[in-house]
Structure 1
Amino acid sequence: MKKILFALLAIVVVIVIGVAALLTLVDPNQFKPLIAEQVKKNTGRELVIEGDIQWRFFPTIGFDIGQTAFRNPTGFAEPNLVQFDSAALSVSVMPLFSQQLEIGNVSLQGGHVFIQTLPNGTSNLDGIGKQADTAEPKNATEPAAAESTATESQPAGDKKPWTLTLQGIEIVDASATVRDDQKGTQMAISALNFSLSRFAPGEWTSATFDVTGKNNGLSFSANGETELLIAKGLDSAQVKALSLNASAQDAKNKIESVNVSVDHFQLGEWASITFSAKGQVPDLAFDATGQTRLQLDQAMNTLSLEGLSLNTDLKGKVLPRPEMALKVAADAQYVMDKQQATLSQVAVNLDELAVTGNASFKAADIPVIRFDLTSDKIDVDAFLGQATAEAKATPVADKSAGNAPAKPVADKNKEPDLSALKTLDVAGKVKVGQFKAGNAKLSDVAMDVQIKRGVLRLNAFDAKLYQGTIHATAQIDANPALPTYLVNKSIKGVQVQPLLKDVAKTDVLAGQGDITVNARGKGLSEMRLRENIAGSIAIHFADGAIYGVNIPEMIREARATLKGKKAEYVKEEKKTDFSAMKATFTLGNGIASTNDLAIESPLLRIAGNGDTNLVSEAIDFTINTSVVATTKGQGGKDVDHVADLTVPIDVKGNWTQPSFSLNVAKLLKQNNELEKKAKKEVERGLEKLLGDKAKDEDIKNAADKLLKGLFN
């Protein structure tokens, strides 16, 4: 027994003496040149170890190394690619004999990484390892032979697998700079701290980190913690109790907080995630919370979200209202190799605006977007606050308006920016049960729209409105210097008066209307739309009335004028009934003109022609009205005496204030022509009846009195 103790004591003494001799006789710092030479050989860069290298023997074998730098080539903004103040690493020796790699605490203090891309595209990462790559390759058959020998000497099934344990990792006060002079961007991490507790495959370990930095003008900070499990076979991993908190700010934006938590994540399994974000961007403040279930498949190719729910409170000037609430619910999937995302069972609520449907997005040089959306009701006016604004509006003029600064006048020649049409590939359908915009009310709206290669196509727009229907197609081409457009619209059976009341705040016309529009043009600014539009508008109204003018009353006035009398005044509504009204307007050179305006009623026949200036909105029409019945006309007044009379009416003014007046000059000229014609007919009849006696002055005077009685 004593011999054994003496033997053990002798071994200990030898080890102690060996360690002492190693410390005394072998200075690890003498290996600095050798290490630097090997680094130079294998990377082409210089490694400078300014601090001391020190051995560590208890409780594990290892070393500490002082200040060290891995140099950049010349021409870069900082001398070092990588540098650190100190580092430490230790390994337990005895477990190595049992194929167990037990690493002690790995520590890195004051590490810094600097990566730069110069304006010419050269990076300080270029060329690393080039010397190693050019080294003479070994005989390709040697590794195979060695492997074969190893296999023969020790079958793979007899090998004991290595196990790895790590007491911990500690990174303290690290930093990094990534600078791209080509793009003019720079990201700088000013402080990074990371710690990992004891790590061993098959065991849970905990990790924490915090980081602060700046990306261009955006300052950010983040911190988090989690628990991590690496499988014993190193072929899978799990994360649980993940918590991440972040904030960011620049001159215009302030993200006060972003919080994400994950309960348990594993490939192929569903993980529950909650998140929140609060902050401000220009003229908009948001406070959002949400949750979802997430799954990443085993191939790490398909990411799925189930039951995504997002609730956001919005405040700001950019909104149509001071405060709004946004709610989003959906399922989503993203396939990485196809770079395609799909959204299903989408439900978006922005206050009272609700939309449901499906959509997809495929990343490409020109993103591909597809959608199919429906909504029970969309009230654009209420959504934009226009109805409220109109209700609060007062007709009383503001006496202080004269002192108020003038509002900027919109440039009527400014074209809209349609550049986005060239960057999208969009196609989709929208259906809306009840739709209101510009106070116009539509129902059963169905729209099919497409955007591709800079061309917007409205393949179909169908809806019901005011007891009628509308069908339209349109196209806008943004590729020419001035965009071009085509519009084809067909409206059938629409009640015109309620439509005009709602949209134009006027009731000048009533009836059931059919309208066909075929138009084209170049330029979408307000002025170019008016100046360059070309095409035609055909209208056909039935069983209606024109308000603001009473043509039968004007006929009675014309009769009185011809007799040199004043028309008897009877209070009547200023309107003219008709059974049909037709017209075809030709559009071109800023003018809409017609020569086939026709209005029919049991009493009247009205024909007209003229034009309106689309730029100045001036009106210049002439309407000729004839009485075609000998009965009590509109208003119950007798018009038999003027049954053969055509009454000319001038329509002047503008679109908002048209004026109607008798053309007295034409009327009197017509009366004189009728009187002359009647006189000749009477004279011819008298000659046939009385012969030469018809030239008698008394007979002529009697005939003249008779004619004057007829025309007065």
Structure 2
Amino acid sequence: MGVLGLLAVAVVIYATTFLDPNDLKPRLADAVREHTGLELSLNGPLSWTFYPRIGVTVEDASAHLPDQDSHEAPFAAFRQAEARLRFAPLLSGNIEIDGFTLDGLRLNLERDAQGRGNWERLIDTVAHQDSARPASASRRPQRVSTAGDRPLAMDIASVQVSDGQVHFEDRQHDRDMTLSSLALLASNVTSEGSFPLELSFALKGTQPELAGNISLKSQASLDLNNATYALNGLALKGSARLPTLDDEHDQSFTVNASRLAADLNHQRYTFDKAAFDGNFHVPFLGDRALPLGGEASGEVSLEDNHALLKAFALSSGQLLRLTGSGEASGLDDDLHWQGQVEMAPADLRSWLERLGQLPPTADAQALQRVGFSSRVEGDRHVAHLNNLALNVDDTALEGTAVLGLDTPLLHADLEGNSLDLDRYLPARETQASSAEGTPQAVKESAKTQTDSQASSSDDTWTLASVLDLALNLKLEALRVHGLQLENVALQAQGQDGRYRLPTLAADLYEGTLRASGAMNVAASSTTLSFEPQLAGVALQPLLRDALGRDDIFRGTLDARAALSSAFGSDASLLANLNGKASFDITDGAMIGVNLPGQLCTTAAMLQGNSTSHEWSSDTEFNEFAATLDIVDGVIKNDDLKVTLPGIDIAGSGQIDAAARNLDMALAARLVDTADTQGCPVSNTLSRIQLPLHCSGDLKDSPAQWCRFDTDAFRAILQKTAASEGQERLREHLDRQLEGKLGQRIEEKLGEDSGSNLRNAIKGLFQ
């Protein structure tokens, strides 16, 4: 044992005495230049170390890229490096590295404005040198005569890097980042198998501003001969603070992959079972984190300009799961891609709520089941969705769509079952709240609401001003603002802020709706035009669904209109409404009141007669028609015509749509007709018009709008008295007013009001 120990000591003394490590400097510089193209400068001494293993230490070394100015910061540098040697090979005169330690690494990576990195020259050189190596070259240590000619072994028991720093500057995308406190640990490093690898560093960026920490564990494999590199069983985790996103919370994530591989000779990159999971904080979520996860497998071949995504999945907890697959060709210049994508029915409402983007909806359950599936294909400019199946709650749509990728574009041809749009609009109470109050308050409220909507939807209007739109939509049923439409066919098209509605056709309450329109959002204020036409529409169910009331009218409605409006920051949509309209209601009735019965009873009393005719509870009419002129939200009419059995009514006035009030003057004239046997009318009485004045808030019932116009009736009686004979008429009216007619007036109007009316009538003839 003593002899063997002395022999080992003798060998060490011999090796360290006659093998000067500084003799390796030229060989090391040549080897680095040969294999990498780097110009290695060994500024410090090379020295032996004896404990715990024999090794060589290098201090203060740097490496410049080919053609790089020596006065520039080196591509790579280190403070100290130590190579530990295996003892047994030294006995046969060979050198094999047992371990490698690197302290104070400094690496400068740069990408120029054209997108080429300074490291790419290094990779190209390594790949060229490795591919040019003879296949028969043996990697086993060889016996050589001088230390300067001895090759470096390719197997390293361990590699350790500490206190490293990597600076990365990307001039193409204006990025600047630094990796500091970099530590790397690898053992049994070889090009013939895999070896464990651990890496960690602190990350700091100025463009964008960020700070964080990253750690990685994996089994790495390096095939230098074939220039293939892989990470197996990758486990990456990290956290970072991004002040631009949230300056109070760290964004955390993990990445796990079965295998990541790169084949530099064929420029092929693969990833198998790569999984991403993270929790992200955004300001509008408060302290709650947004979970995001993803899984994918695929490969990218730059040599073939081809990419394959075998399968991918994107999820956010239980709120979202998007899956699919695809492939792409022509990656360099003529990109074309295709695949399949599917989103399982998901609670989109909760997702939007967490993002702070949930719009107000009348139905609190809306958007809780949203999913779709489609074949997809496209290029750099557009995406085509074929065999598209879209489900939104109870609505199912099928068809095709085209989406713009570099410009806003939406072309779609869809068919569906039914859509209740009211579920996704604000509740009616919210919409109607601005209609309450005084006319001036209403106008101010409408303006405030419009300003608020315009302020909150600037991005939407910006998109609308540049969107290329072509939409064909067919629905079995559509509910909007309470109206129920069936067999709906809609076309919309336009671009650059100018859009048209060439066709809107639907069945509407036993009748039809036909309409066209246009919208211009390119100007400073948005302008709209709309031309609807209704034919044979049942009026009572229309009013029931539109206004929530079925106690006003029934009948068949025909109507048409040509309307236009504009809205911006100065006025509401209704305040700028202009146009013309007309309507005609036939075979209808005013519900809950019988106007002929009341007037005929009064007429019989005025003539000293009585009637035993039984009247219905409604006022049936043959026709109810008018034409309308609309100027700045005020609807004016001067030809209202209502034809009742035995009564003709004419009227004129206006309705302020923005202030939601009306002011109308009506005149009823009794007519002696064959079908009103209970209402005989004298020639004198048939010439007297019974005036009504209707005014008030549109939200009130019609019974609250209209009242008997005493002043107008006084003027009518004076005119009639002058033509018929004042004294005779006065005596006749006195008898009637003191008799049953006076009693009926008091019954209808009350004792005080009735007395006042009787005295007013008498006063006309004093």
TM-score (norm 1): 0.70
CA distance in 2, matches of 1:24, 1:558: 131
Rounded to whole Å, the distance in 2 between the matches of 1:533 and 1:382 is 27
Structure 1 residues 226, 477: CA separation in 2 closer, same or farther (over 3 Å shift)? same
The letter of the residue matching 2:462 is K
Map Cα deviations across residues 278-305 of structure 1 (whole Å, 9 max, x no partner). 35xxxxxx53334323333475733332
Indicate the SS of the match to 2:695: strand
Classify the secondary structure of the residue corresponding to 2:20.
helix
Q: Deviations over 1:614-647 (max 9, x none)?
A: 34333222222233443342xx622333445433
Cα deviation for residue 224 of structure 1 reads: 0.9
- Offset of 1:583 from its aligned partner? 0.9
Residues 171 and 192, structure 1, Cα contact 8 Å, conserved in 2? yes
C-alpha distance after superposition, 1:62-106 (max 9, x if no partner):
964321325799xxxxxxx99xxxxxx9x99xx878357895467
Residue in 1 that maps onto 2:708: 662
1:421 has 2:421 as partner: no
CA shift digits 1:440-478 (9 cap, x unpaired): 100111222245323444333221111122222333333
Given the superposition, is the C-alpha separation of residues 352 and 264 from structure 1 closer, same or farther in structure 2, using an over 3 Å criterion? same
Deviations 1:352-406 (A, max 9, x none): 2322222222222x4222222222011234567969x99xxxxxxxxxxxxxxxx
1:173 Cα offset (Å):
0.9
Residue in structure 2 matched with residue 210 of structure 1 by the alignment: 236
Give the direction of change, closer, same or farther, for the CA distance of 1:494–1:525 in structure 2 (3 Å limit). Answer: farther
Aligned twin of 2:413: 372
CA gap 1:557/1:412 in 2 versus in 1, 3 angstroms = farther
Match of 2:293 in 1: 258
- Structure 2 residue identity aligned to 1:650: H
In structure 2, which of residues 553, 557, 560 is the aligned counterpart of residue 516 of structure 1?
A: 560
AA aligned opposite 1:256 = P
Contact kept, 8 Å, 2:565 with 2:574, in 1: the verdict is no
Q: How many Å apart are 1:222 and its aligned residue?
A: 1.6
3-state secondary structure, aligned to 2:221: coil
SS at match of 1:640: coil
Equivalent-residue separation in structure 2 for 1:451 and 1:48 (angstroms): 58
1:186 alignment partner, one of 209, 218, 242: 209
**Separation in 2, partners of 1:47, 1:271:** 36
Q: Work out the CA distance in 1 between the residues paired with 2:322 and 2:450.
A: 45
Contact 2:257 2:272 survives alignment (8 Å): no
CA drift at 1:481? 3.7
Matches within 5 A, 1:646-661: 646-655=689-698, 656-658=700-702, 659-661=705-707
Change in CA separation of 1:122 and 1:510 when aligned onto 2, cut-off 3 Å:
closer
CA distance in 2, matches of 1:206, 1:492: 72
Instruction: Render the CA deviation track for 1:203-231: whole Å, top value 9, x for unaligned.
Output: 98625141313244361222212235666
Change over 3 Å in CA distance of 1:242–1:414 after alignment to 2: closer
- For the Cα contact (< 8 Å) 2:176–2:205, is it kept in 1? no
1:463 corresponds, among 487, 491, 506, to: 506
Gaps of 5+ in 1: 1-12, 74-80, 83-88, 126-162, 280-285, 391-407, 681-699
- Partner residue of 2:578 out of 534, 538, 560: 534
Mapped to 2, the partners of 1:315 and 1:415 lie a distance apart of: 23
Identify the residue that residue 332 of structure 1 maps to in structure 2.
376
Which residue pairs with 2:254 in the alignment? 222
Cα separation, 2, equivalents of 1:354 and 1:620: 46
Aligned length: 591
> What is the CA-CA distance between 1:533 and the residue it aligns to?
1.8
Shift in alpha-carbon separation, 1:435–1:166, aligned structure 2, 3 A? same
TM-score (norm 2): 0.65
Residue pair 1:114, 1:177 contacting (<8 A) in 2 also: no
Instruction: Pick closer, same or farther for the CA change 1:386–1:705 going to 2, 3 Å.
Output: closer
Q: Which residue of 1 aligns with 2:759?
A: none
**In 1, Cα distance between the equivalents of 2:17 and 2:408?**
67
Give the Cα–Cα distance (whole angstroms) in 2 for the partners of residues 198 and 589 of structure 1: 78
How much has 1:569 moved relative to structure 2?
9.3
Change (3 A) 1:47 1:616: closer
RMSD: 4.8
The whole-number CA distance in structure 2 between the counterparts of 1:526 and 1:443 is: 37
Q: Percent identity?
A: 15
2 CA distance for matches of 1:298 and 1:594? Answer: 67
Answer yes or no: is the 8 Å Cα contact 2:397–2:414 preserved in 1: yes
CA distance in 2, matches of 1:97, 1:708: 133
Aligned match for 1:273, one of 311, 321, 337: 311
Equivalent-residue separation in structure 2 for 1:24 and 1:639 (angstroms): 136
Query: Which structure 2 segments of 5+ residues have no match?
Result: 1-10, 26-41, 46-57, 87-94, 111-117, 120-125, 140-152, 178-189, 431-443, 742-766
Aligned: 1:500 with 2:540: no
Spell out the pairing of 1:248-327 with structure 2 (5 A cutoff).
248-251=280-283, 252=285, 254-262=289-297, 272-273=310-311, 275-279=313-317, 286-297=318-329, 301-306=335-340, 308-314=342-348, 316=350, 318=358, 320-321=363-364, 324-327=368-371
Structure 2 residue aligned with 1:398: none
Residue of structure 2 in register with 1:363 after alignment: 405
Query: Which of 492, 514, 519 is the equivalent residue of 1:449?
Result: 492
Distance 1:415 1:198, change over 3 A: closer
Query: 1:138 — aligned with what?
Result: none
